[in-house]
Amino acid sequence: MALKAPHAVSHLRAERLARSAKPFLARGGIKGERCPGCRLVPSHCLCGVRPELATQSGMCLLMADIEPLKPSNTGWLIADVVPDTFAFGWTRTEVDPALMALLADPQWQTFVVFPGEFVTPDRVVQAVQPLPAGQRPLFILLDATWPEARKMFRKSPYLNALPVLSLNPEQVSRYQLRRSKRDDHFCTSEVAAMCLELAGEAHAAETLQAYLDVYTHHYLQAKHQLPPQWDGPAHACLQSLKQA
């Protein structure tokens, strides 16, 4: 099967690997050869079911140092589904000029997605629509562990002038590859799906969530040396959305 063109997270992963002094070894995950298109072992590759969507919204991932290397990272899935996904490695002392150019691009109305309790109330918004004519929403997601994300938020002064989109989800996270001790913590892909929903792109939101479920299923089946259930509920849900 021909691989699709590498996306922003794939490029960032390649750049990070090129800087590594030694190979990155994921703890407890699947070992050995991986598909470069989906990061799974070839027997569980899901490149053939990757959704193709057109979205108005864009996603900007600020990624902690080793996040692009982790097989369990879900920013990769966002870049698979949302065509206008941008990815930048975060450091405290340097800012990628391409990130600053993106933040200055007038086509985007940019939101930093972060809990509102950490900023003054005047910066907090809980809705995306409506936007001025000609503008599209761009959601900045801090792709990191929670302690890392808080540090990134505090030490990124270029984010200080941007509105903070504070999510108040009612559901509990369904992410199974890495668990937080708190039910109100969500993986990056789940947060992106909530942002799409707020932007009025319900079908894209549902598709991204279904794609996460399929990836999780394939990852865990590979980890336990079991075949993927191609006719199971996760695949059935994604397929129905692709046909909608």
pLDDT at 97 over 70: yes
Q: Lowest-confidence range among 22-26, 41-45, 72-76?
A: 22-26
Q: What is the overall mean pLDDT for the chain?
A: 89
pLDDT, position 72: 87
Spatial CA neighbour of 74 closest among 204, 192, 241, 228: 192
pLDDT, position 1: 47
Q: What is the pTM of this model?
A: 0.90
Q: What is the mean pLDDT of residues 2-10?
A: 80
pLDDT tens, position by position, 199-228: 999 999 999 999 999 999 999 999 999 999
pLDDT at 71 over 80: yes
pLDDT band at 153 (very low <50, low <70, confident <90, very high): very high
pLDDT tens, position by position, 104-130: 999 999 999 999 999 999 999 999 988
Q: What is the mean pLDDT of residues 137-141?
A: 98
pLDDT at 17 over 60: yes
Radius of gyration for the alpha carbons in the chain, expressed in angstroms and rounded: 18
pLDDT band at 4 (very low <50, low <70, confident <90, very high): confident
- What span, in angstroms and rounded, lies between the C-alpha atoms of 211 and 239? 10
pLDDT tens, position by position, 155-175: 999 999 999 999 887 654 554
Cα of first residue to Cα of last residue in the chain, in angstroms, is 25
pLDDT tens, position by position, 26-65: 554 456 788 999 999 999 999 999 998 999 999 999 999 9
- Taking a C-beta distance cutoff of 8 angstroms, is the pair 22, 31 a contact? no
pLDDT, position 168: 80
pLDDT, position 182: 46
User: How does DSSP assign 15-34, residue by residue?
Assistant: HHHHH-SS----SSS--S--
